[in-house]
Chain A
Amino acid sequence: MNFKNFLFFTMAAAIFALPSCKSGSNQNNSSAAATEEAQGTPQVAEVTGAPKVPAPVGNRGPKKWIVNLETTETEGIIADSISYTFWTFNHTVPGSFIRVRVGDEVTINLKNAANSVLPHNIDLHAVTGPGGGAAASTSAPGKETSFTFKALNPGLFVYHCAAPPVPMHIGNGMYGLILVEPAGGLPKVDREYYIMQGDFYTKASAAKKGVLEFDNDKAVAEHPDYVLFNGKKGSLLGANMLEAKVGETVRLFVGNGGPNLTSSFHVIGEIFDNVYLEGGSTISHNIQTTMIPAGGSAIVEFKCDVPGEFVIVDHSLSRAFNKGAIGKLKVTGDANPKVFNAKTLVKE
């Protein structure tokens, strides 16, 4: 592709991505939320690190919230005892889970740590406005910025740092999820968890022995060394397994930060009763594997009918086998032979 074609293509893509093109064609459209006035004085919203999520919004009306986020550049464990220089929102990969209701007015305070080398910002896909807030929130090291938006569309949205070069900021872990619940809230379930996939491109640090850092060439080639849930190999294994009991309903808020790969999200031995396709308002049923685009999400729900360890994977399986995209949900309780019965054939 020559440069002119590339330019045209990118511009065309940018036009399609304009926020004003957001349409609310279903019953949960954005115009209703726009007219609903948020009440009260702003409160600091509870945010959580994965796999936890904040409490459901329930049946309340629209309110005003303050969400405090700090951007950092810090070393952390990526796999086994290997360190990597992550860039984060609130010190974790993925960043804090934000949970609001449609019609809420949300003030994002973004502080960039004083010892950051680079500027950072935040583009929330839940924002209707230029750059999803990116330009308004660009913060030099040690500085803080703020902007307010009204959540017009319900859904599960990705947020990420959009400071150039963006693939690097995202590749280092700068992403998270913001859930905008519809009026009345999502239906009640027994368990909710937060999972976010990301692809990581690494090389040995030139300056610091034993530490990995971002590899630009591998990222451009889209050849990741790690594909991970929640920023760390084994983040959902062993003592960190997700838990549920037989008979309980489980809801997973699943995001994909990318920067490059699309996830084929699957839980081995379960069928998703409900999938909020791409994190939107269309609910599909009886799904085995759901596609989650980079910079996109899905909400999946299922009932735990039998006990066991249920393996969570990206069903592009080399990523699960070789690059870390694997976790587990441990379901405890009584066996249900009518649903599943493992027969042992005893030879006499």
Chain B
Amino acid sequence: MKRLILYKLFGGILTLTFLFSCNKQKSDVASNTASIKVVSDSIGFISANVKMVYIPGGEYKPFYGSDSVRVTVAPFLMDERAVTNKEFLAFVKANPQWRKSNIKKLYSDSTYLRDWPNDLTLPENANPDAPVCYVSWFAAKAFAHSVGKRLPTLDEWEFIAMADDVSANARLKPEYSNNILDLYLQKDRQYRAVKQSKPNYWGIYNMFDLIWEWTDDFNSILTTNDSRAGQYEDKNLFCAGSAISSTDVLNYAAFMRFALRTSLKANYTVANLGFRCAKDAETQK
């Protein structure tokens, strides 16, 4: 019980910090945000029964940057699967401010939970165990807070994405990218239940076959602190220019993920875009 109160306090602080950072960026909407009662913004915590997988991390070569750049990923925990419709319903039940009719316009575009007939009902034909989609980055972040977690970073996500079902880094296998591409080309995959396909080397499910996934820093294409990064402006992501700033021009699947991320804004909600949660390894005891 004590623990729960602590969590609530923690959550409140997080929310405040969160609001503050928004205010800083968008001063024109700051006054509107402030005038709405702050109390309703605190996150109601829910329980989640998702297995988390320990990922030891390590050094890896990011897809974008120059050939010599290496990024170190610290150990972390990753949800074995994406957040489902059922879980998101529990989240909005506990958090009225994130319901379809209440969500602030700043936090989401008009298609938030598009197919839900009302605030607390899943779409008629939706599989409760399919990944939740049509959720904004703000909503995904709030959900993660509600379960005491966070969104994975782009590097964490891509670190896991290097794996196939037998090895941690399958990038050099010729079939690696093509196999993912085969999955990416299929439509309407997001309606299927999670965990119906084989897990990867780490025991993580559905990295590629169901949805695109939000990452915490989805809009920072440059994943490194390398000073040379300045030369890779984001315009190089278009046309053949994108080949200049990639370390692996044959990895079409990775190009697609990066293309998708650059097309997003934090308030966007998209038919095949959901998320999973992560956590720092140290905090897990």
Contacts and interface: CB of A to CB of B under 8 A. Distances in A.
B241 A207 contact: no
Contacts of B260: 118-119, 140
B62 to A, nearest CB: 15
B185 A205 contact: yes
Given A118-B256, A131-B238, A141-B272, 11 more contacts: A14-B241, A117-B185, A123-B239, A135-B234, A139-B263, A140-B270, A141-B271, A163-B263, A164-B256, A165-B255, A216-B181
Contacts of B238: 121, 123, 131, 134-135, 138, 162-164, 166
A153 B242 CA distance: 27
Contact of A131 (B67, B239, B271): B239
A143 B272 CA distance: 13
A3 interface: yes
Interface size class of A (residues with CB under 8 A): 35 or more
B40 interface: no
Interface in B215-238: 234-235, 237-238
Q: Which applies to chain B's interface (DSSP): helix, strand, loop or mixed?
A: helix
A130 interface: yes
B187 A135 contact: no
Nearest to B241: A14
A163 B268 contact: no
The size bracket of the interface on B is 35 or more
A85 B185 CA distance: 9
Interface in A209-258: 213-214, 216-217, 220
Interface in A129-168: 130-131, 134-135, 138-143, 162-166, 168
Contacts of A168: 252
B58 to A, nearest CB: 23
22 contacts: A7-B244, A73-B187, A85-B185, A114-B271, A117-B184, A135-B234, A135-B235, A138-B238, A140-B268, A140-B270, A140-B273, A141-B272, A143-B263, A143-B268, A162-B239, A163-B238, A164-B238, A164-B255, A168-B252, A207-B186, A214-B185, A216-B178
A10 B243 contact: yes
A180 B121 CA distance: 52
B271 A115 contact: yes
B182 interface: yes
A231 B248 CA distance: 30
A11 B268 contact: no
B250 A220 contact: yes
Contacts of A7: 244
Contacts of B256: 118, 164-165
Interface string B174-198: 0001100110111110000000000
B182 A206 contact: yes
B240 interface: yes
Contacts of A143: 263, 268, 270
A165 B186 CA distance: 17
Interface of B: 67, 111, 177-178, 181-182, 184-188, 234-235, 237-244, 250, 252, 255-256, 258-260, 262-264, 268, 270-273
Contacts of A142: 111, 270-271
A318 to B, nearest CB: 27
A238 B238 CA distance: 40
B240 A166 contact: yes
Nearest to A133: B238
Interface of A: 3, 7, 10-11, 13-14, 73, 85, 114-115, 117-119, 121, 123, 130-131, 134-135, 138-143, 162-166, 168, 205-208, 213-214, 216-217, 220
B185 A166 contact: no
Contacts of B258: 164
Contacts of B242: 164-166
Contact of A115 (B184, B187, B255, B259): B187
A261 B184 CA distance: 26
Contacts of A205: 182, 185
A117 B187 contact: yes
A284 to B, nearest CB: 29
Nearest to B184: A117
B263 A140 contact: yes
A117 B252 contact: no
B108 to A, nearest CB: 13
Contacts of B187: 73, 115, 117
Contacts of A207: 182, 185-186
Contact of A138 (B244, B262, B270, B271): B262
Contacts of B250: 216, 220
A73 B178 CA distance: 19
B61 to A, nearest CB: 13
Contacts of B237: 135, 164
A327 B130 CA distance: 48
A267 to B, nearest CB: 32
A140 B252 contact: no
Contact of A119 (B182, B234, B235, B259): B259
Nearest to B66: A7
B267 to A, nearest CB: 11
